[in-house]
């Protein structure tokens, strides 16, 4: 079974530029998550999708971050304009959501450096 | 709101020695608890999880963890560490809404 795929793996941009990250979850997984992991910290949830609907985006900085999950499969996370403090690893995870307690499966992440 | 504390930022052990990584959580009800491992440049891999039942949970790669409600702890243990165990370890709690709250992680270094 293929895992969660993310691209690109690395991205370097200058502040005020825009950037987009792509995630392809495990086939059949209904729930998709985007996390931000700043160096030296644990992952922090940005947004949670159930199929193609948003369950929780309370921690997403909506003035600059946006995310969508068209057709309930792939997802894109965008930052526009980027700030220095957005430098982090952006992790995508998915879960099947068939049990009360689910395991989340993580992709390798996209490492973003904002100069 | 729930929270997770991993008191040790960095631990160094010799290969073959035993290991215990500490995790304390804050949550009003019985939480669902997880340990993940992250190798450099990689995503997070699930080591083990606790939902209910037996408080001693076995995971992959020879790891185990014990849930202690009275201490609000979920410490990760391994009897004999291998050099390949060097990585960062994250404890996480799910307290409803299928969302994970992570600790800040403990970096494990292994001396040959």
Q: A43-79 pLDDT, tens per residue?
A: 999 999 988 899 899 999 999 999 999 888 999 999 9
Please answer yes or no on whether A97 and B99 come within 8 Å at the CB atom. Answer: no
CA distance A25 to B53: 30
Q: For B39-65, what is the mean pLDDT?
A: 91
Cβ distance B44 to A106 less than 8 Å, yes or no, reads: yes
On the question of pLDDT at A100 being above 90, the answer is no
The answer, yes or no, to whether residue A1 has pLDDT greater than 70, is no
Q: Does B36 touch chain A (CB under 8 A)?
A: yes
Q: How many CA atoms lie within 13 A of A7 on its CB side?
A: 3
Asked if B98 lies within 8 A of A107 by C-beta distance, the reply is no
Return the half-sphere exposure (C-beta side, CA atoms, 13 A cut-off) of residue A59.
12
| Burial class of residue B26, CB neighbours in 10 A (0-12, 13-18, 19+) | middle
| Helix%, strand%, coil% for chain A, nearest 5 | 5, 50, 45
Q: What percent of chain A has pLDDT over 70?
A: 96
pLDDT tens track for B56-103 = 999 999 999 999 999 999 999 999 999 999 999 999 998 777 788 999
Q: Chain A contact for B103, CB < 8 A?
A: yes
Q: Could you give the 3-state DSSP secondary structure of residue B98?
A: coil
Q: Does B23 touch chain A (CB under 8 A)?
A: no
């Amino acid at each position: 079974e293929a895992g969660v795929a993310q691209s690109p793996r690395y991205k370097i941009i200058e502040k005020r530029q825009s950037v987009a990250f792509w995630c392809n979850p495990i086939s059949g997984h209904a729930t998709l998550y985007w996390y931000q992991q700043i160096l030296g910290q644990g992952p922090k949830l940005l947004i949670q999708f159930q199929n193609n609907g948003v369950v929780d985006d309370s921690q997403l900085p909506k003035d600059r971050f946006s995310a969508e999950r068209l057709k309930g499969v792939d997802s894109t996370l965008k930052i526009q304009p980027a700030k220095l403090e957005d430098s982090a690893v952006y992790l995508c995870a998915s879960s099947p959501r068939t049990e009360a307690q689910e395991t989340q499966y993580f992709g390798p992440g996209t490492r973003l450096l904002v100069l | 709101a729930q929270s997770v504390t991993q008191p040790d930022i960095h631990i160094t052990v010799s290969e073959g020695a035993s290991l215990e990584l500490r995790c304390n959580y804050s949550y009003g009800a019985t939480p669902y608890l997880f340990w993940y491992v992250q190798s450099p440049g990689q995503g997070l891999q699930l080591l083990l999880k606790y939902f209910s039942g037996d408080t001693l949970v076995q995971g992959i790669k020879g790891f185990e963890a014990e849930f202690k409600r009275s201490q609000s702890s979920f410490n990760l243990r391994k009897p004999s560490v291998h050099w390949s165990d060097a990585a960062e370890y994250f404890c996480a709690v799910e307290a409803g809404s299928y969302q994970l709250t992570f600790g800040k992680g403990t970096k494990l270094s292994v001396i040959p």
